[in-house]
């Protein structure tokens, strides 16, 4: 591909030079013809259209909850290939099906997008009947203005919670549109968006959501609207001289030069890659030295943080003689994970212990495995694994007597220590 592009570039340059003098008059006349054709193709055309759309949206954090969305679009179609548009979309995201938490919410999306007519790009010579059906790919950016109102007894406080703010958003959509006539069209759109913040709703909202809409468009100008003009009719008609023999000859002459250039590029890329690896090695070594030489300071949790930590480990249970965490412990560990994710400046040490029943070597390994299981669970919830160290101490340091069942149960535990970096 590189060789073909290089050969075509060189050929075009040489052909221009070869015909520059003896074809000057013809080129001047051709340029005037092209300009006239281009002016004729775009003169008197209307570029504007408006559309109304409505459908459903789906937020994946809403327990498969579908809600209404609807809005309007103003679009300027520059030519049959692409255009620009301004979109407003109202989205409901109510959540009142008995799940936790229950809340009412709305989102107002305002975005500027670019639209590309894929049908004209790939098949501009299709028949007139098929030109009524067009597929568009749209992408853009804007803002989401949201508000929500939580109404749930067990959501942090009895009175619930409210919030409203705005976020940056990115939008992508695919639209299949059919022209009923020169003024009206109907389309089916699949739309996806992503916001720059994860937790703008009380359930820990996902960044992305999708939607599907039915769209009705009005095209100003009717027959003169750009959306009704075929690409082959819009483009100026230019006769291009056949330069295939010259291109082939130049391609043959330039193959060797292109091959040498590719070899030089490959050698340069290899040198750059080696240098990057060396820089990364030095950086990793420096980072490791800084981490190893910095003295960590033990962190004392606040009252609220200490309550979350105590609850997580008080409710932590494993299957008998195994390092498998029981599902009943997940909810309290989720609270601990959320706390740790809010404090990236912490480093964590998890210590596993057992009672003195059974083989000491097996107890030591079990204590290590249980501490590692807690680390794996927290990492699966988004806590950086590099921030957590685990140790196992078997039956060492009992906190109660191993002579009773209750005492042995207390000795089978995992403890946590927090350090500020």
pLDDT tens-digit readout, 93-104:
776 655 556 667
Please list, in sequence order, all residues whose beta carbon lies within 8 angstroms of the beta carbon of residue 332, skipping any fewer than 6 positions away.
311, 312, 314, 315, 316
Q: Please list, residue by residue across 369-384, b when 16 or more beta carbons sit within 10 angstroms of its beta carbon and e when fewer do.
A: bbbbbbbebbeeeebe
pTM of the model: 0.46
Confidence grade of residue 365 (pLDDT, cut at 50, 70, 90): very high
Share of the chain above pLDDT 70, in %: 78
Beta bridge partners of 278: none
- Rounded mean pLDDT of 68-93? 92
Confidence grade of residue 273 (pLDDT, cut at 50, 70, 90): very high
**pLDDT at 51 > cutoff 90:** yes
pLDDT tens-digit readout, 183-218:
999 999 999 988 887 555 554 445 678 889 999 999
Average pLDDT over the chain, rounded to an integer: 81
Q: Residue 265's pLDDT is what?
A: 92
Cβ–Cβ < 8 Å for 106, 146: yes
Cβ–Cβ < 8 Å for 416, 343: no
- Rounded mean pLDDT of 42-59? 86
């Amino acid at each position: 591909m590189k060789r073909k592009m290089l050969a075509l570039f060189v050929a075009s340059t040489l052909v221009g030079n070869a015909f520059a003098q003896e074809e000057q008059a013809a080129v001047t006349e051709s340029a005037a013809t092209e300009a006239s054709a281009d002016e004729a193709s775009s003169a008197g055309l209307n570029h504007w259209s408006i559309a109304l759309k409505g459908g459903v949206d789906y937020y994946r954090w809403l327990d498969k909850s579908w809600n209404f969305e609807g809005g309007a679009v103003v679009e300027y179609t520059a030519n049959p290939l692409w255009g620009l548009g301004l979109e407003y979309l109202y989205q409901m995201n109510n959540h009142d099906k008995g799940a936790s938490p229950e809340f009412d919410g709305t989102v107002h999306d305002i975005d500027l997008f670019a639209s590309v007519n894929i049908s004209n790009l790939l098949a501009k010579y299709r028949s007139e009947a098929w030109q009524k059906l067009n597929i568009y790919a749209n992408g853009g950016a804007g803002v989401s203005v949201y508000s929500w109102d939580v109404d749930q007894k067990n959501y942090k406080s009895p009175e619930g919670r409210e919030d409203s703010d705005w976020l940056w958003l990115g939008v992508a959509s695919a639209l299949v549109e059919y022209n009923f006539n020169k003024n009206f069209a109907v389309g089916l759109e699949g739309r996806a968006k992503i916001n720059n913040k994860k937790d703008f709703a009380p359930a820990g909202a996902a960044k992305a959501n999708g939607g599907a809409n039915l769209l009705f468009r009005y095209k100003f100008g009717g027959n003169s609207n750009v959306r009704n003009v075929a690409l082959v009719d819009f483009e100026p008609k230019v006769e291009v001289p056949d330069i295939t023999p010259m291109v082939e000859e130049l391609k043959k002459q330039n193959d060797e030069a292109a091959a040498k250039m590719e070899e030089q590029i490959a050698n340069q890329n290899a040198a750059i890659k080696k240098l990057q690896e060396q820089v990364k090695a030095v950086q990793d070594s420096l980072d490791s030295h800084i981490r190893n030489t910095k003295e960590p300071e033990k962190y004392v949790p606040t009252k609220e943080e200490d309550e979350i930590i105590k609850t997580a480990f008080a409710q932590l249970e494993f299957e008998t003689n195994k390092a498998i965490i029981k599902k009943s412990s997940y909810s309290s560990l989720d609270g601990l994970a959320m706390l740790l994710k809010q404090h990236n400046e912490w480093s964590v040490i998890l210590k596993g212990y057992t009672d003195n029943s059974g083989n000491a070597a097996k107890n030591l390994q079990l204590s290590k495995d249980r501490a590692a299981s807690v680390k794996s669970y927290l990492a699966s919830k988004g806590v950086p694994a590099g921030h957590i160290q685990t140790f196992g101490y078997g039956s060492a340091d009992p906190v109660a007597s191993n002579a009773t069942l209750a005492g042995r149960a207390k000795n089978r535990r995992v403890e946590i220590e927090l350090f500020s970096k």
